[in-house]
Amino acid sequence: MSIIKEVAAEAGVSVMTVYNVINGNYSKVSEKKIKLILKLLEEKNYVPNLTAKSLAIKSTKIIGIIVPVGDDDYNFFKDPYLSELIGVIEHLLRKKGYYAMVRSVIHAADISTLLKTWNMDGAIFLLPYYDHIAHQILAQNDLPMVFWDSYSDNPDIFSVGIDDYKGGYIATKYLVSLGHTRIAFAGSIGEDGVKCVVNQRFKGYKDALREANIEFHESFVYPFAPVYDMGIVAGREISKRKGEITAVLATADVMAIGIMEGARLNGYLLPNDLSIVGFDNIEASIFCSPKLTTVSQNIPKKAECAIDLLMKQINDEPTPEKRPVLDVEIIERQSAIPLR
């Protein structure tokens, strides 16, 4: 006799009821019977056949977490922001009974092959690098998808983002409130992908300067990629202008930490010689010295919002807002101080 039949007999229910409990369909089963069936299954070391289960209910319970391939095959997984983000998403998906499959893909055709090969229930596209092919991805794949920080004008896209403009604005206003008027900006401004996010932060930075009647200096802009190594380069460059630049807004915490290291290597004492504000509020921002003042985008809340959007699509539920934009705030620590 199979384990399913044994459990059904011992619990005094039908085989179908046992299958319903295994598949999470509790609507027609009493709480007492659910507990008993689960207890019996555990005692008998029952392990469900996921392949057979997925064929039966036409669901693999797999959610793709799609990550871009960087320039020169840059390993994005070194980025603590992405690592923290994937950890939060995997945890939330696991609590909902889904499995996360993480894969680095960049081309639309490869993405379609991946999604169809594994018959995924849905996908989350991390980092804002997919806007230029979002229309292809949507056209080629009929499954629930959510894009991260998208600025695509495609009306069919589901995306979760933050108020990037406000982030750049309040960070600059904060530095101005500390007496700084010669504030640098570090981030990869430009046309596509992640640059759209940074462009909004850059616009907030410039508007805050203008409102404070502070002159904008093109030479104070360091358009480097928001990664640690380029932060070191930016920090070294900024520290060559001692006294000319007193503060800097970096568009990623990991870049801000790199800037601190680059400035320190050139003899700067931080934060006395240079105030720094980062962006993201990753966990690493409290481990560096000085502890990093940063713009928080509440990664757990953002991930929860993205998964909620995805689940509503999977369950065919109404989605009142397809592109929610979450708020940001300044987290004050030690890396930015009043100008002396």
Average pLDDT over residues 140-158: 92
Q: What is the pTM of this model?
A: 0.81
Are 335 and 292 spatial neighbours (Cβ–Cβ below 8 Å)? Answer: yes
Q: Contact, 7 vs 16, CB < 8 A?
A: no
User: What is the model's pLDDT at position 237?
Assistant: 97
For 35, 44, 94, 178, 302, the CA distances from 41, given in Å and listed in that order, are: 10, 5, 20, 63, 36
Mean pLDDT is lowest, of 58-72, 118-132, 279-293, for: 58-72
pLDDT at residue 72, as a whole number:
61
Residue 13 near residue 33, CB atoms below 8 Å: yes
DSSP 3-state of 278:
strand
Name the pLDDT band for 121 (thresholds 50, 70, 90): very high
- The stretch 148-166 carries a mean pLDDT of 94
Distances (CA, A) of 240 to 38, 97, 245, 262, 273: 66, 53, 9, 11, 12
C-alpha neighbours within 13 Å on the C-beta side of residue 121: 24
Residue 318 one-letter amino acid: P
Residue 126 corresponds to which amino acid? L
pLDDT tier, 314 (very low <50, low <70, confident <90, very high otherwise): very high
193 has a pLDDT exceeding 60: no
What H or E segment, with its residue span, contains residue 65?
Answer: strand 62-67
Question: Is 80 exceeded by the pLDDT of residue 74?
Answer: no
* Residues contacting 141, CB < 8 A, separation 6+: 111, 112, 115, 116, 123
pLDDT band at 48 (very low <50, low <70, confident <90, very high): low
Specify the range with the lowest mean pLDDT, choosing from 110-114, 242-246, 304-308: 110-114
Q: Which of 8-12, 49-53, 107-111, 332-336 has the highest mean pLDDT?
A: 332-336
Q: Is the pLDDT of residue 263 over 90?
A: yes
Helix (H, G, I), strand (E, B) or coil at 37: helix
Q: What is the pLDDT of residue 55?
A: 46
Is a pLDDT exceeding 70 seen at residue 270? yes
pLDDT tens string 226-258: 999 999 999 999 999 888 999 999 999 999 999
Higher-scoring residue by pLDDT: 312, 28: 312
Cα–Cα distances in angstroms (integers) from residue 214 to residues 38, 165, 172, in the given order: 66, 18, 11
Question: pLDDT averaged over the chain?
Answer: 89
Q: Does 46 have pLDDT greater than 80?
A: no
Spatial neighbors of 330 by CB under 8 A, at least 6 apart, are: 170, 171, 174, 277, 293, 294, 295, 296
Stretch 209-221: mean pLDDT, rounded? 97
Residue 125: name the closest of 111, 140, 142, 141 by CA. Answer: 111
Asked whether the CA dihedral 90, 134, 72, 189 is positive or negative, the reply is negative
Q: What is the pLDDT of residue 258?
A: 98
- Write down the pLDDT at residue 242: 84
Average pLDDT over residues 84-112: 90
CB 251 within 8 A of CB 201: yes
pLDDT band for 73, please (50, 70, 90 cuts): low
Residue 85: both structure tokens together: 């983000």
Label residue 294 left, alpha or beta by phi (over 0 means left) and psi (-120 to 50 means alpha): beta
What's the confidence (pLDDT) of residue 1? Answer: 57
Phi-psi domain of 255 (left: phi exceeds 0; alpha: psi -120 through 50; beta: other): alpha
Contact residues for 240 (Cβ-Cβ < 8 A; gap 6+): 266
- Dist CA 12 CA 27 (whole Å): 18
212 Cβ contact list (under 8 Å, min separation 6): 173, 176, 181
